[in-house]
């Protein structure tokens, strides 16, 4: 059995939390005591039925205001698969929390209110989905109960979205008309929309391919920790502990250590009392090398015949996530896997207007702004382009004054 | 292309090991909070997988309410002996003796709330900058909102409205002096995942998790172990029951469930069929809809 990680996106009140509540409810994933708490809660739908959104709106402020503020993670499983869901907020003010939920997912559910169609937040979130390289997108046209389950309403909206999807180069998009409130097409196919020939949302989620394990040749392992027991019995023991980001390492593979550029060969792979012949993407292991090279946290072990890029000047897409605007005159810290180094944003190339998706000149970057920048780092980074290798093509920016995470970076090119 | 077996437990395990190693790499003085329950026992196994044959880069810390099940303490001591790591005990009794907290009174008195003070004192005393805990997001709806690296201020408080973005698998552990980070490596595990993992890894557990005979009384519709720590009066009728515990905390707030489950397989079957959540057996969460959120804001795990 494998895991599918997905998240819900869309504008405020489009029904993201309700949809997740409905999925959990209709798959019988809500336990009796939680249900009891729901029933005794004073937040109810107009017709007196329980409000499924409060299953994920776990904070007092969220329940009071009837909105989602921060990501909630929910878990359920069917006979076919395990699911990790991130319910993200629709409010523009909390976009950074939406990005948090999206960054680890491999599928996005974008909700559109059938009465309103594609709105600004739909475009913004769809743009973020394309920027973050989320593989699969399911567009749920929600609240179909409020438009008499009308096929033409549905068709009009998906025609509009298809144009957007093309603009954003979203490749794999599926459309489903639903009512999260009434449960139409969520777990069971709805009898009220016979004109719809596709499958229910759950059915689709159960069979969409996940391959969240990267099978590329780009073998990379950032060293997190060096294991040196320094006991008498293990006097010379020196193991490099880390999680394989991508690709596969095998015994006797030639590897390069970056940034030093030193080369060596894999002598042994260890995983808690086992010595497997290979370490694959996603696995946390210990690697031993044949040569005595100087390696510490922040270094990356890579396949010698498929080297990443190395540069101190990188072109990247930036999502700004702090209330304090970007300051191009100060130094920030960039964290790229286990490596941290100082950096500056040396140039803002453009900002993207979220309504028109047009690029325009800008000299400031404020909360929720998205655009392209050039970043200059103190130490060179060994990275891949985000589209080739998400795990080694992303980084965060930290403001040393506050220690807050202020930006998400997706590497697009090394600047010559 | 290579194919290999990497199922959901392997994936959860690899993620947790990665998080533990990030703690080792990013902090000066981390600690692993060990409660004696199945989640923290699972954390210890994950730490072995992350750091063996080396030593753990952190001590284990047990906040001892003084109202523990003896079985938990015995288990703890044997485990420390086996793994050869350092144990630090923070004592709630001592906090009471020093007048820092006042014992609750009345029928529902428990030391559960008091342990937050002892925990914060222990963190200050040893200057811990990161505390690893076994909390899971599936346990409770406020927990479902918390980051894997969750920054706490000087007073241990969680501010749910000011959580840092947490992107990809990159964890920002930078903090100011006085602050600390609570780290939850098994955030994405469910109760059933933990049990399946314990079965797969053949991890031993304290005997109270399995069915046994015990004198109990009924409180607020739940079975509580009769013990000197429970304020009992004449209305309380002690009955001997075949029970087990689904979660292990302070004796005065952890309810038992009637069960015949003597093997891990039985427990997994029982939980899979159960319609009650694990936290449904904790009196401390029953107080109000925001009970957990409020305790976390106050510095609780
Ligand atoms: N009629 C109808 N109402 C719905 C449907 N889905 C959601 N709603 C209602 O729409 C309102 C908002 O739903 P939520 O699920 O809280 O919306 P959300 O998208 O999670 O909102 P934020 O998280 O704050 O962005 C609630 O009153 C729901 O009951 C639907 O399919 N039909
Ligand atoms: Mg919501």
Question: Which of B163, B236, B153, B281 lies closest to A72, judged by CA?
Answer: B163
- Compare CB distances from A335 to B10, B145, B172 and report the shortest one's residue: B172
Residue spans per domain, chain A = 2-207, 220-303, 309-414
Q: Which of A370, A382, A375, A257 has the alpha carbon at shortest distance from A310?
A: A382
Q: Is A17 in the pocket of ligand 1 (CB under 6 A)?
A: yes
For residue B293, the distance in angstroms to the closest alpha carbon of chain A comes to 7
Closest CA to A238 of A283, A298, A292, A278: A292
pLDDT tens digits, one per residue of A4-20: 999 999 888 899 889 99
Helix (H, G, I), strand (E, B) or coil at A143: coil
Whole-number Å distance between alpha carbons of B38 and A297:
31
B221 touches chain A (CB under 8 A): no
Distance CA A142, CA A130 (A): 21
Write down the pLDDT at residue B1: 38
Smallest Cα distance from A196 to chain B, Å: 34
Given A31, A272, A278, which is nearest B49 (Cβ)? Answer: A272
Residue in chain A lying closest to B46 (CA):
A272
Q: Please give the share of chain B, as a percent, with pLDDT higher than 90.
A: 44
CA distance A121 to A90: 7
pLDDT digits (tens, 9 = 90+) for B27-49: 999 999 998 899 999 999 999 99
DSSP calls for B3-49: -----HHHHHHHHHHHHHHHHHHH-SSEEEE--SSHHHHHHHHHHHH
* Band of residue B2 on the pLDDT scale cut at 50, 70, 90: very low
- Which residue has 């509580």 as its token pair? B224
Average pLDDT over residues A286-310: 95
Q: What is the pLDDT of residue A274?
A: 92
Angle formed by the axes of helices A120-131 and A151-167, to 10°? Answer: 40
Residue A89 near residue A71, CB atoms below 8 Å = yes
CATH architecture of A2-207: 3-Layer(aba) Sandwich (3.40)
Encode pLDDT of B162-196 as tens digits: 889 999 999 999 999 888 999 999 999 998 999 99
Calpha distance A109→A19 (Å, rounded): 10
Q: What is the mean pLDDT of residues A336-364?
A: 93
Q: What does chain A come to in residues?
A: 416
pLDDT digits (tens, 9 = 90+) for B104-120: 776 666 666 777 888 88
Question: Can you say whether residue A241 is alpha, beta or left, with left for phi > 0 and alpha for psi between -120 and 50 degrees?
Answer: beta
Q: What is the CATH number of domain A220-303?
A: 2.40.30.10
Q: What is the mean pLDDT of chain A?
A: 91
| Predicted pLDDT of residue B109 | 64
If one residue of A10, A41, A53 were mutated to test the ligand 1 pocket, choosing by the most ligand atoms within 8 A of its CB, it would be A53
| Res B103 pLDDT > 50 | yes
Mean pLDDT of chain B: 85
Q: Which domains are assigned to chain B?
A: 8-192 (3.40.50.620), 204-298 (no CATH)
Among all chains, which residue has been given the structure tokens 């939680």?
Answer: A34
**The total number of residues written for chain B in this structure:** 301
Which backbone phi and psi does B264 adopt, to 5 degrees? -55, -40
Comparing CA positions, the residue from A387, A368, A406 lying closest to residue A128 is A368
- The shortest C-alpha distance from B104 to chain A (Å) reads 26
Which residues of chain B does A272 touch, with a Cβ-Cβ cutoff of 8 Å?
Answer: 48-49, 52
Q: Is the pLDDT confidence value at A27 over 80? A: yes
**pLDDT confidence of residue A31:** 75
Measured CA to CA in angstroms, residue A360 lies from A319, A376, B115 at distances of: 15, 22, 55
Return the higher-pLDDT residue of A30 and A163: A163
> Residue A149 Cα, ligand 2 centroid: separation in angstroms?
23
CA–centroid distance, residue A134 to ligand 2 (Å): 20
Looking at domain A309-414, its CATH superfamily turns out to be: Translation factors (2.40.30.10)
Q: Going by DSSP bridges, is the β-strand pair B180-183/B149-152 parallel, antiparallel, or unpaired?
A: antiparallel
Specify the pTM.
Answer: 0.91
Of chain B residues 52-111, which have a CB less than 8 A from chain A? 52-55, 57
Fold identical between A2-207 and A309-414?
no
| pLDDT confidence tier of residue B276, bands split at 50, 70 and 90 | low
- Chain B positions in Cβ-Cβ contact with residue A403 (cut-off 8 Å): 172, 174-176
Residues 6+ apart with CB under 8 A from B146: B135, B137, B158, B160, B163, B184, B187, B296
- For residue B245, what pLDDT is reported? 86
Q: Does residue A355 have a pLDDT over 80?
A: no
Q: Is the ipTM of this complex over 0.90?
A: yes
What integer pLDDT is reported at residue B278 of this predicted model?
Answer: 63
- Please name the residues in contact with B180: beta carbons below 8 A apart, sequence gap of 6 or more: B123, B128, B129, B130, B131, B151, B152, B156
Q: Is the CB of A333 under 6 A from ligand 1?
A: no
| Joined tokens for residue B11 | 């994936």
Q: Is A55 in the pocket of ligand 1 (CB under 6 A)?
A: no
Residue located nearest, by CA, to atom 24 of ligand 1: A67
pLDDT of residue A43: 64
- Return all residues near B247 (Cβ < 8 A) that are at least 6 apart: B37, B38, B254, B278, B279, B281, B282
The sign one gets for the Cα dihedral A210, A213, A215, A218 is positive
Contact in structure between A305 and A254 (CB atoms under 8 Å): yes
3-state secondary structure of A299: coil
Lowest mean pLDDT among A260-269, A286-295, B285-294: B285-294
Q: What is the pLDDT of residue B290?
A: 67
At A192-236, the pLDDT tens digits run 999 999 999 999 999 998 765 556 789 999 999 999 998 888 888
* Percent of chain B with pLDDT strictly greater than 70: 85
In tens, the pLDDT along B226-271 reads 777 666 677 778 888 888 988 776 666 678 888 888 999 998 988 8
Q: Between B174, B274, B280, which is nearest A403 by CB?
A: B174
Instruction: Classify burial at B84, counting beta carbons within 10 Å of its beta carbon; exposed 0-12, middle 13-18, buried 19 or more.
Output: exposed
The residues pairing with B254 across neighbouring beta strands, listed in sequence order, are B282
């Amino acid at each position: 059995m494998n895991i599918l990680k997905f998240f819900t996106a869309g504008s405020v009140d489009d029904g993201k939390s309700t949809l997740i509540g409905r999925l959990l409810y209709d798959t019988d994933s809500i336990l009796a005591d939680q249900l009891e708490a729901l029933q005794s809660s004073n937040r109810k739908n107009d017709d007196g039925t329980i409000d499924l959104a409060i299953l994920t709106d776990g904070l007092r402020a969220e329940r009071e205001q009837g909105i989602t503020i921060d990501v909630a993670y929910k878990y359920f499983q069917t006979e076919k698969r395990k699911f990790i869901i991130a319910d993200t907020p629709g409010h523009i003010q909390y976009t950074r929390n939406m990005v948090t939920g999206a960054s680890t997912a491999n599928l996005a559910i974008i909700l559109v209110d059938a009465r309103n169609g594609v709105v600004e937040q739909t475009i913004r979130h769809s743009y973020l989905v394309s920027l973050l390289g989320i593989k699969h997108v399911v567009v749920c046209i929600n609240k179909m109960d409020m438009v008499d389950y009308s096929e033409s309403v549905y068709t009009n909206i998906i025609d509009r979205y298809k144009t957007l999807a093309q603009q954003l180069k979203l490749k794999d998009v599926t459309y489903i008309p639903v009512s999260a409130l009434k449960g139409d097409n969520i777990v069971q196919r709805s009898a009220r929309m016979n004109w719809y020939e596709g499958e229910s949302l759950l059915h689709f989620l159960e069979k969409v391919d996940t391959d969240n394990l990267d099978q590329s040749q780009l073998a990379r392992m950032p060293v997190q920790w060096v294991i040196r027991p320094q006991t008498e019995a293990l006097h010379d023991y020196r193991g490099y502990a880390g999680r394989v980001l991508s690709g596969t390492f095998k015994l006797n593979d030639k590897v390069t250590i970056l940034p030093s550029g030193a080369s060596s060969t894999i002598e042994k792979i260890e995983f808690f009392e086992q010595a497997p012949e290979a370490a694959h993407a996603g696995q946390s292991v210990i690697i031993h090398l044949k040569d005595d090279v100087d390696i510490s946290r922040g270094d990356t072990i890579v396949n010698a015949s498929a080297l990443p890029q190395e540069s101190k000047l990188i072109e990247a897409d930036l999502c700004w996530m702090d209330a304090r605007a970007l300051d191009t005159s100060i130094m920030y810290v960039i964290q790229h896997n286990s490596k941290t180094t100082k950096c500056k944003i040396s140039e803002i190339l453009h900002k993207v207007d979220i309504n028109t998706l047009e690029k325009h000149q800008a000299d400031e970057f404020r909360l929720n702004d998205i655009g392209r920048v050039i970043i200059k780092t103190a130490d060179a980074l060994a990275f891949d382009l985000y589209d080739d290798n998400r795990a080694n093509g992303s980084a965060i920016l930290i403001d040393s004054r506050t220690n807050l995470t202020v930006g998400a970076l997706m590497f697009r090119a090394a600047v010559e | 292309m290579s194919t290999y077996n990497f199922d959901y437990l392997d994936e959860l395990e690899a993620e947790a090991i990665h998080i533990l190693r990030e703690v080792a790499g990013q902090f000066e003085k981390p600690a692993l909070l060990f409660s004696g329950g199945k989640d923290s026992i699972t954390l210890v196994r994950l730490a072995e997988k992350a750091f063996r044959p080396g030593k753990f880069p952190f001590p284990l810390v047990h906040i001892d309410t003084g109202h523990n099940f003896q079985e938990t303490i015995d288990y703890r001591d044997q485990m420390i002996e086996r793994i050869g790591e350092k144990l630090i005990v923070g004592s709630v009794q001592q906090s009471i003796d020093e007048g820092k907290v006042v014992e609750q009174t009345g029928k529902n008195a428990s030391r559960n709330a008091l342990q937050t003070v002892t925990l914060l004192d222990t963190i200050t005393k040893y200057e811990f900058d990161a505390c690893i805990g076994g909390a899971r997001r599936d346990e409770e709806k406020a927990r479902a909102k918390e980051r894997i690296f969750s920054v706490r201020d000087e007073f241990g408080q969680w501010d749910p409205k000011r959580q840092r973005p947490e992107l990809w698998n990159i964890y920002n552990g930078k903090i100011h002096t006085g602050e600390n980070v609570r780290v939850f490596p098994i955030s994405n595990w469910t109760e059933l995942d933990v049990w399946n993992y314990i079965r797969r890894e053949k991890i031993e557990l304290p005997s109270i998790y399995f069915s046994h005979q015990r004198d109990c009384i009924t409180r607020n519709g739940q079975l509580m172990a009769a013990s000197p720590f429970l304020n009992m009066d004449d209305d309380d009728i002690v009955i001997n029951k075949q029970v087990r515990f689904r979660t292990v905390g302070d004796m005065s707030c952890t309810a038992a469930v009637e069960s015949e489950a003597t093997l891990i397989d039985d427990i997994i079957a029982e939980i899979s069929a159960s319609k009650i959540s694990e936290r449904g057996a904790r009196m401390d969460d029953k107080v109000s809809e925001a009970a957990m959120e409020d305790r976390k804001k106050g510095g609780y795990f």
